[in-house]
Structure 1
C-alpha cells in the first residue's frame, strides 16, 4: 500500500493504519455478533414440518381400482409402500385360490426372483431401492373365486408409479452495508470475512453459504449526500446428511428443519450487529450493516428431469415428481415442460 500512497511515506503509513483500524473494527463487530448468536436463547421457535410427504413406511398399503390407474409416489432410492393387487372392496374379503401376476413397464413380467421388485405371498408389489428407470405403468392380473362353487373372476388393476425427490429448496438473502470507497480492497476483504463467519455459524447445521452477488454502488441519501454501499446476495442451502462417514437419519436432519434453524441464526446475527452499533459511543466503523436491509425469500427448485404439478399430482403437490413421457425439465426449474418427442420418464432434453 505504501508504494501507491500519495505524499510522504509517513502520511501513507498513517492512512493505511487508520483504514486498517476501521476495517478491524468492522471485523470485530462481525465476530462479536456471531458469538452472541451462538449463545442459547430462552425463546423457543416453531419448527416447520417437511414440505413434502414420504410414502415409504411398511404400514402404508395402496389398493387398486378397476376404473382408473392409481398413482403411487416412491422417493428415489427408498423402499416403496406395499402396492396391493386388490381393490378396496376385495381387501378384506375372502378370496379362494387367488393368483397374481404383475407386469411392469413395456409389459415385462415382474418375477418373484427380481432383486429390486419383490412380490409377496399375498401378491403385493414392493420395491426395495426405487430407481428412476422403474417409473411407469404397472398392471396386476388377479384371478380368484368368491366361493368354492362360483366360477373364476378376473380383474386387471393398473398403477402409475412415479419416482419423486425432495425439492432443492434454499433461502436467498440480500443485505446492505455502508462501505469504503467502491475501489477499496477493504470491501473485498470484508466480503470474504463476512462469508467466512456466516459459514462457521451454520457449520453444525450442515448448511452451506454461497455468495451469489456482491456489488458496490454510490447511493444518494436524502439530506445526506452520496455514500458507498455494498449490496450482498447470498443463499443458504442444506448439505446432504445421508451421505458421508456418519449418515444422519434423525428427524432433526430433515433439510427444512435445518434450514429453518439456519434462517433464525442469520436473522439474529444481523440483528445483533444493530444492537452492538447502538451501544457504541465511539465513531462507527467504515463498513457496517445498514439496519432493516436484510431481506429473505424461500426458493423451491427441482432437479433436472423432475417437476411439480399440483393438477397432475394433487396428493404430492410439493414433491418434485419425475417428468412423464411427453415432458422434460432441462435445468433446475420447478415444472416439467411439454415435449411431444420425449418418450421416457425423467427426460432432461427435448430432441
Structure 2
C-alpha cells in the first residue's frame, strides 16, 4: 500500500478589508472619521498610502462648523506639519504617504471651532480630540500582481493551493494506476488510498510582525507590526516580549548595557 502524505506550506495572508476597509467609520468616499473618546484602529499595507483620515466625527461633519482649525500630532508627539510623508489638507484631511513600520503609532488631531450664542452673539471656542491608531501589515508592491489584481487575495491564494492539492492527488492516483496496469509483472502492486493526502495550513509572519487577536480583534487573521515592548526575529506569528524595545516592527531584542546597575 502506498500512502501519499504530502505537506503543503502556505502563507495565507488576509488582504481583504485589512481592518480599516471594514470599519463602520468608513464613508462611501473612503474617508475615515474620528470617534470622540475612542481611538480608531487602522491597518495599512506596507509601502502603501494610508486611507484619508478626517479630523472630525461623522456627526460633526454634517453640521456647520465655524472657523475650524486642525492640528495633527503624530507618534512621539511630533507635529506633522513640514513632513513630506504627511499630506495634510486645509480641511484637516491626513494621508500618510508610503507607510513604513516606523510610522506606526498614535495619530491625534485637535479640531477647534467657534460656536455663537444667538441671544448674546457670544463666541466660544470648542476643541475636540480624535485619536487614530495606525498599524502596518506587511504587504508591499508586487503582492497584488500575484493575485491577478483580485480584490480578495486570500480567496485567490486558497483557491490556488486547493487546486495544487487536487492536481498532486490526481498525480499519485494516476501513478498508482500506471504501476498497477503496466508494471504489474515487474513491480509489486501499488494502491493509492483515497483521502490519505493532506494539506496543512502553516501561518507565518515576516520578522517584525505577528498576530494578536486580543489587541487587533478586527484584524485578527492578519500580520500586524509588533508594538513597542515586543519583537519578532523570525517567521513566527507571535511577537515576543522585550521591555528594551521602544519602536514598532522590532526584529531583535537589544541586550541591556552591562554597565547599567539597578537602583533600589
TM-score above 0.5? yes
Distance 1:282 1:127, change over 3 A: same
In structure 1, the residue corresponding to 2:167 is in which secondary structure?
A: helix
Distance 1:286 1:350, change over 3 A: farther
Contact 1:138/1:160, CA 8 A, preserved across alignment: yes
Q: Please show how residues 70-89 of structure 1 align to structure 2 within 5 Å.
A: 70-89=40-59
Gaps spanning 5+ residues in structure 2: where?
Answer: 1-11, 22-27, 255-264
Aligned match for 1:127, one of 96, 112, 118: 96
Aligned to 1:274: 176
CA drift of 1:160 comes to: 1.2
* Equivalent residues of 2:177, 2:191 under 8 A apart: no
Tell me how far apart the structure 2 counterparts of residues 108 and 300 of structure 1 sit (CA, whole Å).
36
CA drift at 1:84: 1.1
CA contact (8 A) 1:52 1:316 kept: no
- Does residue 34 of structure 2 align to residue 64 of structure 1? yes
d(CA) in 2 for partners of 1:289 and 1:90? 70
Q: Is the 8 A contact 1:277 1:284 kept in 2?
A: no
- Deviation track 1:7-28 (CA, whole Å, cap 9, x = no partner) reads xxxxxxxxxxxxxxxxxxxxxx
Alignment of 1:1-351 (within 5 A): 51-55=14-18, 59-111=29-81, 114-147=83-116, 149=121, 150-165=123-138, 242=142, 249-251=148-150, 254-280=156-182, 282-283=184-185, 285=187, 291-292=193-194, 293-351=196-254
Aligned partners of 1:316 and 1:165: how far apart in 2? Answer: 13
TM-score, normalized by length of structure 1? 0.57
Q: CA deviation at 1:268?
A: 2.6
What is the distance in 2 between the residues matched to 1:304 and 1:100? 36
Distance 1:107 1:249, change over 3 A: farther
Unaligned runs of 5+ in 1: 1-48, 167-239
Check conservation: 1:74, 1:164, Cα contact below 8 A: yes
Taking the aligned partners of 1:109 and 1:300, their CA distance within structure 2 comes to 38
Largest Rg, 1 or 2: 1
Rounded Cα–Cα distance in structure 2 between residues aligned with 1:255 and 1:332: 19
Measured after TM superposition, the shift of residue 338 of structure 1 is: 1.6
RMSD: 3.1
Task: Indicate the structure whose relative CO is greater, using CA pairs within 8 Å and at least 6 residues apart.
Answer: 2
Q: Distance in 2 between matches of 1:108 and 1:101?
A: 11
Aligned 8 A contact 2:179 2:187 in 1:
no
Cα distance in 2, alignment partners of residues 330 and 121 from structure 1:
41
TM-score normalised per structure 2: 0.73
